[in-house]
Structure 1
């Protein structure tokens, strides 16, 4: 059976100077920290991806075999940073730096919070730290030129506060596009359907 097509709008945002970062006024609460995963495994990466993305139709990586997922994580310039709340993951960001002749561009490839962390004012603090770490990514990879651009794309299937959060932190829209798509269901295999309550 063919999946229904819907119109999906993708918004691309960028920051061209580290001085453009507008930090969130809300810092991390007590018991929270953001930590770079130095030796991330495909299993942990997939856990983060599904934990955050299952509500937002993230499916682009779900069909990748382990070897391909691992290869993406091992690409020089790729980092994963996890928000921990009292010891448990509450969100994460994956950064991908790409050096070029004009400098290194860093894409915020994945960014988001676990369901239990949404609505607690954590998104701004996590994004502030993600952008700050993106601007310093060249310091952590040998041979990378200085970062000249940090960018991200989001779409109308993502969380309703995503674009506003990016703009509040100083990212500016530079391109939008719309297309008809049959989005996958990122929830498949995540949890069984809830039993109806009577």
Structure 2
């Protein structure tokens, strides 16, 4: 079965990771034959964030942001220490990341991902390393955190580790899908 209908109970494991020092790699270059720009959205409207969130996460059961109070979500997006960056290529969003630095000395890579049409073009390493190095530019940063789960892209955990994150702990959960999940559309 490649479709998990809304209402299906699924089990998943969340892994929390961290990085305690700036990695030694340099700022990445775009892959050959790719042109894109990274745009910083200043106090973006909720609809903009949710459109990126859905475009990236619809096949990975990213549903939680839709449960947040709309005013609370908008307030969070408008915080000075919450930064949303969109990778634009060919005139449309290819992916995004969001950094939340509201905690002293800690920044969380709260969201990261590519839209399905951008997967496999070599953009993941470019975008992730850009997110990591952007976070480490913050004065006083001591810990960069991220989490991923087994509902995310199959290589998400491996990608975070390859780029310098270390797993700290894991926990298993269950959830009821609110939207259908087409497993056949999850890119390799």
Length-normalised TM-score, structure 2: 0.84
Contact 2:43-2:78 within 8 A present in 1 as well: no
The Cα RMSD (Å) is 2.3
Where does the alignment leave 5 or more consecutive residues of structure 2 unmatched? Answer: 1-5, 182-188
- The residue number in structure 2 matching 1:27 is 30
Contact 1:28-1:122 within 8 A present in 2 as well: yes
Give the 3 Å change call, closer, same or farther, for CA 23–58 of structure 1 in structure 2: farther
Give the 3 Å change call, closer, same or farther, for CA 156–21 of structure 1 in structure 2: farther
Please say if 1:87 is aligned against 2:87: no
Moved over 6 A (4+): none
Give the 3 Å change call, closer, same or farther, for CA 120–153 of structure 1 in structure 2: same
Q: Show the 5 A alignment for 1:40-189.
A: 40-100=44-104, 104-138=105-139, 146-185=140-179
Give the 3 Å change call, closer, same or farther, for CA 159–86 of structure 1 in structure 2: same
Aligned pairs, number: 176
Length-normalised TM-score, structure 1: 0.80
Where does the alignment leave 5 or more consecutive residues of structure 1 unmatched? Answer: 139-145, 188-198
Contact 1:128-1:169 within 8 A present in 2 as well: yes
User: 1:124, CA displacement in angstroms?
Assistant: 0.7
Give 1 or 2 for the bigger CA radius of gyration: 1
